[in-house]
Amino acid sequence: MGMTIAQKILKAHLVDGEMVVGQEIGLKIDQTLTQDATGTMAYLQFEAMGVDQVKTERSVAYIDHNTLQSGFENADDHKYIGSVAGKHGIYYSKAGNGICHQVHLERFGAPGKTLIGSDSHTPTGGGIGMLAFGAGGLDVAVAMGGGAYYIPTPKMVKVYLNGKLRPWVSAKDIILDVLRQMTVKGGVGKIVEYVGEGVKNLSVPERATITNMGAELGATTSIFPSDEVTKAFLEAQGRGDVWVPLSSDPDAQYDEEYTVDLDMLEPQAAKPHMPDNVQKVCEIGPIKVNQCCIGSCTNSSYLDMMKVAAILKGKTVHPDVSLTISPGSKQVLDMLAKNGALSDIIGAGARILECACGPCIGMGQSPESGGVSLRTFNRNFEGRSGTQDAKIYLVSPETAAVSALTGVLTDPRTSLGEMPEIKMPEHFDINDNLIVKPAADPSSVEVVRGPNIKPFPLGKALEASYSGKIVLKTEDNITTDHILPAGAKLLPYRSNVPHYANYCFINVDPEFPARCKEQGGGVIIGGTNYGQGSSREHAALVPLYLGVKAVLCKSFARIHKANLVNSGILPLTFADSADYDAVNLLDDISLPNVLEEVKTGAQVTVVCGGRTFKADCEVSERQRNALIAGGTLNFAKQQAR
């Protein structure tokens, strides 16, 4: 039987298990990446493993999230990451060099290779035919140490792209349409592949916009073929030697299929507060806009920025709108500066921000109270911008730039006539002077740990039975931003779990941290798709620190579930989702036979609110052992003994 692109790469990297849908497989990982908001934990865990030099072909540590440095904390984190990188064979991309996914695509990614990154948008690499996964920091640490990365064998989804995009319609509109069709839960346990004649009409950065936002589908990852377009991109980056062709076999089997007719597609927007709440821009109508933000790992390529510059050239941003621009990398910004496009952007009145995540993760530029902000980003979860009642719409760079001029949400086809044509450059300007190579003599490097860097919590071995209280009951689609908000005020504490713990679920139930402390922890109840969004393992480590022993919900998002297991928190799902309605905050809850049940893979008996019912603990053998030991690191230590 023929294979899909992803199956070919999976097979070439398979080191454990069998590729049977749902069964766990272990993969050899060629490359890793971290960013600073998850990196400190990943490197503390890597250090705890006692491995001297990374065993991957390439590992890169990026500084792109916490670049505000409003106190010593972030700068200390950067110093720690830089020194740990130098000592252990990891390349270090300094603050200012750009957003991890954009820079990795430009300078390191390679078709046919595997990549895991401690950031959920790592699948951006699928734009050049790389099999790239978002993962928790511990999984990245293990991969750096040469260990396999484990995932349940995914189902395969085909998205057929027909035809060619019309002027003013862009890659962002394609992925927004896929989100409309598949929803934010539609990709869980699946790899999404883009095929069809429409593919050849999309450049690598456009493909990367699409694979990037595959994270919002909940997909394991997304991937494009590696073809002549990929080759030209890599050659233009001076890296033609890493190109290999890759495509699916004609008789490859897919579990699901979707179609997007590119020539029929119109500009789309994801309305507040979910990326799948998608409607055509022309149907939403001319709502008043207060802010437009262009950038983020989804839409900050040279191509995107050149389009924006061409739209803004010679015009002025509407008096009521604040327009921010954050180019994705130093390469992009440098090229805009050299060819004059930066001047067109500045001249129109845009505010130029650093090449970093910035407003996407609430590091500044929070909108005004109740403000409407159009963003080219990938997430519009409530409160993520830093303003709880702001209304965030996710749109293409074209829609954002045109609306910044008109002051209202505007279908870009309607106002400016002909779309300026932007060509991919034959050569990108290459200057890697912000990427520090690992030290030639690792023993000479001293790892620097600032006072904000606190040890990470470790789980406790599972006991025969458990009893406690329900400390929180939540609804469907709880995001990791709900579990642990980010933003300018809290991101500085990513290396300080005890302090960060005071903000756990703060926007859902402000009493949660105090309640956990009072009860000595307990069990969290959730609805469907619990833990969607970011890969931040803090969303597991902090509840662990607060004594949470289990999360019992209707279903989990993939990365968060893996992070719970890694930290030794039981991921349980209601066998009968009707039981969800019968459990309430502060009910007594016990798992009278949990150790035996987890050991044998039986359903877990739950006694709560005077009723007895069953929950599933759907994990692999490997994960079972980790849960029994109280987390993956504990289990690894036991095995080492």
Residues at the contact surface with ligand SF4, assessed by CB under 6 A: 65, 99, 119, 121, 296-297, 357, 360-361, 377-378
Nearer to ligand SF4, 68 or 287 (CB): 68
According to DSSP, the β-strands at 31-34 and 58-62 are parallel
Instruction: Name which of ligand MIC, ligand SF4, none residue 144 binds, using a CB cut-off of 5 to 8 Å depending on partner kind.
Output: none
User: Which 241-300 residues touch ligand MIC, going by CB under 6 A?
Assistant: none
- Name the residue nearer to ligand SF4 (CB basis): 375 or 449: 375
Q: Comparing C-alpha atoms, which of 281, 321, 294 is closest to residue 397?
A: 294
CA distance 356 to 493: 18
Task: Identify residue 98 by its one-letter amino acid code.
Answer: G
560, 540 in Cβ contact below 8 A? yes
> Is residue 231 within the footprint of ligand MIC (CB under 6 A)?
no
User: H or E segment at 311?
Assistant: helix 302-312
List the single partner that 38 binds among ligand MIC, ligand SF4, none, CB under 5 to 8 Å by kind.
ligand MIC
Shortest CB 378 distance to ligand SF4, Å: 5
Tokens at 83, concatenated: 């020194």
296 binds, among ligand SF4, ligand MIC, none (CB under 5 to 8 A by kind): ligand SF4
Strand stretches in 201-320, DSSP E? 221-223, 256-261, 268-270, 278-280, 291-294
Cα–Cα distance, 68 to 177 (Å, whole number):
34
2 phi and psi angles, rounded to 5 deg: -70, 165
x/- mask, ligand MIC, residues 72-111, rule CB under 6 A, reads ----------------------------------------
Tell the smallest beta-carbon distance from residue 46 to ligand MIC (Å): 17
Residue 312 CA to residue 309 CA, distance in Å, equals 5
Q: Look at residue 227 and give its three-state secondary structure.
A: coil
Beta carbon of residue 40, minimum distance to ligand MIC (angstroms, whole number) = 10
Report in angstroms how near the CB of residue 102 gets to ligand SF4 at its nearest: 9
Instruction: Look up residue 65 and give its two tokens.
Output: 């999230």
Binding-residue pattern over the window 27 to 56 for ligand MIC, x denoting contact by CB under 6 A? ----------xx------------------
Q: Are 543 and 550 in contact (CB under 8 A)?
A: no
Residue type, 404: A
What is the distance of C-alpha 476 from the center of its chain?
19
Rounded least distance, CB 404 to ligand SF4, Å: 19
| Residue 99 interface partner, choices ligand MIC, ligand SF4, none, CB cut-off 5-8 Å depending on type | ligand SF4
- Give the one residue of 73, 76, 119, 173 binding ligand MIC; rule: CB under 6 A: 119
DSSP 8-state assignment for residue 185: T
Cis peptide before 273 (omega within 30 of 0): yes
In terms of residues, how long is the chain?
A: 641
Residue nearer to ligand MIC on the CB measure, 137 or 521:
137
State which of residues 212, 399, 534, 634 lies at the interface with ligand MIC (CB under 6 A). 534
Q: What are phi and psi of 59, to 5 degrees?
A: -125, 135
Query: In 3-state terms, what secondary structure has residue 292?
Result: strand
Binding-site member from 63, 236, 281, 361 for ligand MIC (CB under 6 A)? 361
Residue count at the site for ligand MIC (CB under 6 A)? 13
Q: What residue has token string 């969290």?
A: 524
**Between residues 493 and 574, which has the closer beta carbon with respect to ligand MIC?**
493
Pick the closer one to ligand MIC by CB: 360 or 462: 360
Specify the stretch interacting with ligand MIC by CB under 6 A; choose among 114-122, 303-311, 448-456, 562-570. 114-122
Environment class of 463 (CB within 10 Å of its CB; exposed 0-12, middle 13-18, buried 19+): exposed
Specify the stretch interacting with ligand MIC by CB under 6 A; choose among 53-61, 116-124, 277-285, 542-550: 116-124
Task: Please give the Cα distance from 232 to 425 (Å, whole number).
Answer: 10
How far apart are CB 285 and ligand SF4 at their closest, in Å? Answer: 28
- Cβ-based nearer residue to ligand MIC, 121 or 624: 121
Q: Which residues bind ligand MIC (CB under 6 A)?
A: 37-38, 65, 119-121, 134, 361, 486, 533-536
